[in-house]
A and B are shown apart, each in its own frame.
Chain A
Amino acid sequence: MKNNQAQTAKVILARKPDSETAAKIEAFAKGKGCSSVEYTIDGKIIGGIIVYIGDTVYDGSVKSRLEEMKRDISD
């Protein structure tokens, strides 16, 4: 199902990125074969970044790290 056509990278951030960060994100997306970047600002992820490119997710959000920690402690 992987399509090699130009696709959009969906980026979720907790805050609006500054220009330096935005440039980094765009460079990363371009490296993965994306033609455009779509930003969503969502405070729920607390911090960090989540990038969706096609089926692949790059999850570096504080929220998911905390959730994992919670699961490990309760185990």
Chain B
Amino acid sequence: MIDVKTIGKSIVEKVERSESHPDERTCGRIIYSGDGIIHVSGLSDVKYNELLEIEGGYHALALNLEEDCVGAVLFSGEDKVRYGDFVYTTGKTVQMPVGEEFLGRIVDPLGEPLDGLADIKAKELRPVEFPAPSIMDRGKVNKPLQTGILAIDSMIPIGRGQRELIIGDRQTGKTAIAVDAILNQKNEDVICIYVSIGQKASSLAKIISTLHNSDAMKYTCVVCSTADDDAPLQYLAPYSGCALAEYFMYQGKDVLIVYDDLSKHAVAYRTMSLLLKRPAGREAYPGDVFYLHSRLLERAAKLSEEKGGGSITALPIVETLAGDISAYIPTNVISITDGQIYLESELFNSGVRPAVNVGLSVSRVGGSAQRAAIRQISGQLRVNLAQYRELAIFMQFGSDLDAETQKTLSRGAKMTDTLKQRQYLNYSVREMIVLLAVSQSDLVDKVPERKMSTFVDGLLDYLHINYSELLESIDPDKKLSDELKEKIFRVAEEYIDCSLGEAFGQPRAEGEEQGSSEN
């Protein structure tokens, strides 16, 4: 039963809490409204990027300050505001409520919950536009951020505080890598923020359900603007997400933020700029489209120990068209970030997933943050793979090959197979060390071709079941001793010997049978 008295009481409370606006305000009148853009006359003391309030409770962002009018973009009420309505200045920029309450929630770029759960009572507000940490406040990137993806953690390592671009055509698994990285932060004490910019609501729903099902929402907040949101909201989304990330960073925590994706962000900004009649430049983007992304990504940083040592690791995503990374937005973001993970649709279609092009992908700062053991054993990996690829092109001519070349080819193919990894299947650091060590040793020559994936899965299971103490004894922060390496090789050999000819290539049932005979 709803008690009338409680309703009355809550109304009284709300009225008491109701803040009245200051008596003295600067105002103007709408002289044009169309396509979500308003022109306002008056507003003599308005500032750039100031939040405007329109009669009826709607808000707009002042972006063009001209001689006789102010151009602003509406956040809401495009079809409600009318010619002649009063517009007031607020003296504030757009602010995002921030706090621990946002973890596990799905919010819009203004901090309003979209998940149908309770109101978020945030105690603090942060401006969405905030200066990046100064040079002196920054520390060195020295701690790894494990994505759990072998190809990335071994060859394109990401450090906490780094900005690593994920770039590739549509349907190459860009978001999958970012989501995998979020899932892998479980028990790592990293707060994750997923910012969706102009994404399809259906794919966003899928990502959110993945995060829910993997219990990753506990440490994750999703800031979303979907494709049907107004351009100003899409434009604001990454900055809001970053404001939330900064709140945690300045508390000394590590944050991972994914911007999915910045090409749609640039498109939203282009929409606003063209409607505001700003001059169009290359590909019709406005002149400040570089600054749009550079000021956002500069806010991702690793703070020095004196400042608490927190960090924001940014994984911006950019979609290319037909693999063209020399287009305007991709080149801009590549030059801003500390490296890129380049995904190729050809690789994806030929079954190499994640479809990382190792040759074109780099990490400019992550190397120093890589765990010692991984750095030790993955040093030669890149060179070996490059050699393999070069040879593989020759192989297409079908000429007779000497034994040495054949060996290099078969090893390269097996290495490539080892780097294939199913989505949502993240390896721990110790598992990676074992896989890297074994797949680069002579042992792989015993594994039949095309059976490498089965071998990898089997070996890890075998290790977990029979030699978990060996796995535990690996210290990722120390170089792998020859003795330990020897032990790992012995186990791998044991597994190869007892499973050869049975597990590989046979139906699963036999593999299980053989598994039971081992025990």
Contact = CB atoms under 8 A, between A and B. Distances in A.
A57 B15 contact: no
Interface string A59-71: 1100001001101
B11 A2 contact: no
Nearest to B57: A71
B42 interface: yes
Nearest to A56: B26
B44 A59 contact: no
Nearest to B25: A57
Contacts of B24: 56-58
A4 to B, nearest CB: 12
B23 A73 contact: no
Contacts of B17: 72
A54 interface: yes
Interface string B36-57: 0000001111000000000001
A54 B86 CA distance: 14
Contact of B20 (A1, A55, A56, A68): A68
Q: What's the interface size class on B, roughly?
A: 20 to 34
A60 B24 CA distance: 9
Contact of A72 (B15, B28, B44): B15
Interface string B324-358: 00000000000000000000000000000000000
A55 B44 contact: yes
B21 interface: yes
A57 B25 CA distance: 5
A70 B252 CA distance: 41
A55 B44 CA distance: 6
Contacts of B68: 1
Contacts of B11: 73
Interface string B117-152: 000000000000000000000000000000000000
B26 A65 contact: no
21 contacts: A1-B44, A1-B67, A1-B68, A2-B44, A2-B45, A55-B28, A56-B25, A57-B24, A57-B27, A57-B86, A58-B23, A59-B21, A59-B23, A59-B25, A68-B18, A68-B21, A69-B15, A72-B19, A73-B11, A73-B14, A73-B15
Interface of B: 11, 14-15, 17-21, 23-28, 42-45, 57, 67-68, 86, 88
Given A1-B44, A72-B18, 13 more contacts: A1-B42, A1-B68, A2-B45, A52-B27, A55-B44, A55-B45, A58-B23, A59-B25, A72-B14, A73-B11, A73-B14, A73-B15, A73-B18
